[in-house]
């Protein structure tokens, strides 16, 4: 969005800043004030000096080349004068970070609302969302400043996980605006998954929206991005059939187990299977085992209800034996393969637990698809155990690469098309503050002039006539606004029309000084949020 060169700090903005400075002077000292001004003892002279800074008065020698707003951008208030807030993703995934780091950063779904609230409480963050799965931990934000927003979020991640900022920075990836759109659409379509086209990630993206809709910080830009990502995920799977033959993480875990099963097992049904956890992942493991010919397995879970419900969904002849968690080790002693998929934040199997288990043919397999991990890394040191986690599933998905790549190319065409639509929609949102402020300005003028008319008319006018005159004034204003409003509305589908719309918006902002009011509202919202 272009900006006016005639921007000035209005009296309302000056009052707002003055009020905040008054507040800062009476509160306890802090390293930085809310709006980036170091907290200092306040007297009238200091206060006037700080407010004077925000005026960004232009010297005669620089007036031709530097606008007031450009100077304001370099002042203490620069984060509030961005031409446009940026969508940013700060993420770590199976492609960039080891499981040990991801499990420390993982945020349970129940904690997403708290995380969003804390993120939006940071100085430069307006909106936020959390996408935390076994393969990725990604934080999406709408940031007033890219650099400062990334710095604040990274420090927040460090504080909540206990991982040093330097270590997070080494493994994180950063994307901005259009690249964020491209990335999330690829994630939703299953193109960034370990198993191309897997369906679980689309359900997880949907869950972000479900949880986010109940939280204030899940704002228009971020929610619009995730909702569009769901549309893209559905469209890619429908039009490319990319999910056909593709497997989920749970399915890949089963295939890995069968690949690693000793040759002495003539058939999968001869191996003793144990599944820990009957949640979504555990349920899928059970179903994939059945699809591979397994007819009997033990399922350990905290309650029997979920296991009974899964049993009802399986074909006749499949035996599911339920055991409570306090019998976990006894069940493991009688298992050749142990799948773990629980939400436990502490390991369920440690070296001292496994080394006392009776030996099995070759070695006991532990397939751990939980994040945080349910099987401690120390278990792999034992001769009688082989441990695999989500990072080891890469071996399973190496087949049929050519066909998956062809479908991925088809999906990229769809993603490119949908990315343009989303970016155009986001561009069209730029006019919303101008429309609101222009309507408000017109209404204030109308109301003021109507009050002047009533004052001149005196008390001789009856209510019916007053209403008729007021309706007339509203009608005139609405008719005058109709043309400008039509030229400020655009769905973003036509790039030429969108360009013209943004030019119209900029012209109105210049003519009526609307940018100052829009900026005041942005600052006030952040001040009130803090």
Q: Where are the alpha helices (DSSP H) in 27-123?
A: 44-55, 68-73, 99-105, 112-120
Sort strands 337-340 and 319-323 into parallel, antiparallel or unpaired.
unpaired
Give CA–CA dist 307/278, Å, rounded. 6
DSSP-derived letter for residue 272 is -
Give CA–CA dist 15/528, Å, rounded. 14
- The answer to whether 233 and 297 are in contact (CB under 8 A) is no
Give CA–CA dist 152/79, Å, rounded. 13
Give CA–CA dist 498/421, Å, rounded. 12
Give CA–CA dist 273/336, Å, rounded. 6
Residue 134 annotated among the catalytic residues of the structure: yes
Catalytic one of 56, 120, 134, 294: 134
DSSP-derived letter for residue 127 is E
Task: Provide Rg for the chain, Cα atoms.
Answer: 30
Which residue in 147, 115, 133 sits closest to 217, CA to CA?
A: 115
- The answer to whether 441 and 511 are in contact (CB under 8 A) is no
Measured in whole angstroms, the distance separating CA 483 from the mean position of its chain's CA atoms is 37
- The answer to whether 121 and 530 are in contact (CB under 8 A) is yes
Give CA–CA dist 488/498, Å, rounded. 9
Token output for 17: 């800043």
For residue 10, the SS3 value is coil
Number of residues in the chain: 530
Which residues, in sequence order, are bridge partners of residue 377? none
Catalytically active residues, by annotation: 134
């Amino acid at each position: 969005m272009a900006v006016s060169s005639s921007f000035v700090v209005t009296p309302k903005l000056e009052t707002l800043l003055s009020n905040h400075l008054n507040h800062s002077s009476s509160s306890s000292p802090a390293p930085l004030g809310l709006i980036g001004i170091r907290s200092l003892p306040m007297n009238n002279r200091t206060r006037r000096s700080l407010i004077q800074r925000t005026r960004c008065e232009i010297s005669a020698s620089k007036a031709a080349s530097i606008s007031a707003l450009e100077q304001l951008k370099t002042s203490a208030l620069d984060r509030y004068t961005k031409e446009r807030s940026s969508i940013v993703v700060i993420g770590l995934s199976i492609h960039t970070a080891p499981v040990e780091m991801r499990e420390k950063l993982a945020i349970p779904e129940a904690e997403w609302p708290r995380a969003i609230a804390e993120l939006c409480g940071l100085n430069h963050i307006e909106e936020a969302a959390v996408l935390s799965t076994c393969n990725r931990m990604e934080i999406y934000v709408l940031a007033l400043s890219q650099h400062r927003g990334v710095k604040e979020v990274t420090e927040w991640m460090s504080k909540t996980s206990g991982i040093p900022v330097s270590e997070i920075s080494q493994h994180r990836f950063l994307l901005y605006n259009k690249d964020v759109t491209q990335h999330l659409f690829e994630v939703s379509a299953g193109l960034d998954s370990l198993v191309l086209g897997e369906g679980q990630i689309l359900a997880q993206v949907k869950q972000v929206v479900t949880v986010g809709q109940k939280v204030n910080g899940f704002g228009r830009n971020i929610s619009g991005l995730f909702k569009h990502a769901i549309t893209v995920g559905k469209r890619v799977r429908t039009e490319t059939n990319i999910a056909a033959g593709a497997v989920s993480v749970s399915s890949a875990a089963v295939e890995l187990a069968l690949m690693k099963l000793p040759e002495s097992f003539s058939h999968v049904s001869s191996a003793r299977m144990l599944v820990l956890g009957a949640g979504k992942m555990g349920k899928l493991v059970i179903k994939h085992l059945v699809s591979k010919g397994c007819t009997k397995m033990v399922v350990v879970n905290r309650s029997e209800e979920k296991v009974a419900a899964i049993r009802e969904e399986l074909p006749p002849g499949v035996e599911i034996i339920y055991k409570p968690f306090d019998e976990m080790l006894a069940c493991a002693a009688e298992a050749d393969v142990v799948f773990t998929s629980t939400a436990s934040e502490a390991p369920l199997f440690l070296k001292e637990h496994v080394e006392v288990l009776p030996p099995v043919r070759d070695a006991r397999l532990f397939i751990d698809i939980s994040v945080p991990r349910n099987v401690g890394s120390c278990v792999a040191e034992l001769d009688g155990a082989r441990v695999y986690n989500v990072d080891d599933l890469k071996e399973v998905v190496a087949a049929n690469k050519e066909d998956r790549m062809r479908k991925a190319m088809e999906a990229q065409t769809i993603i490119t098309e949908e990315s343009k639509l989303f970016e155009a929609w986001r561009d069209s949102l730029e006019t919303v503050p101008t429309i609101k402020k222009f309507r408000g300005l017109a209404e204030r003028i109308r109301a003021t002039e109507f009050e002047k008319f009533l004052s001149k008319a005196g008390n001789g006018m009856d209510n019916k006539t007053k209403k008729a005159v007021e309706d007339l004034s509203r009608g005139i204003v609405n008719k005058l606004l109709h043309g400008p409003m039509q030229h400020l509305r655009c769905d973003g589908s036509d790039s030429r029309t969108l360009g013209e719309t943004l030019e119209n918006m900029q012209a109105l902002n210049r003519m009526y000084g609307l940018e100052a009011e829009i900026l005041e509202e942005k600052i006030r919202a952040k001040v009130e949020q803090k």
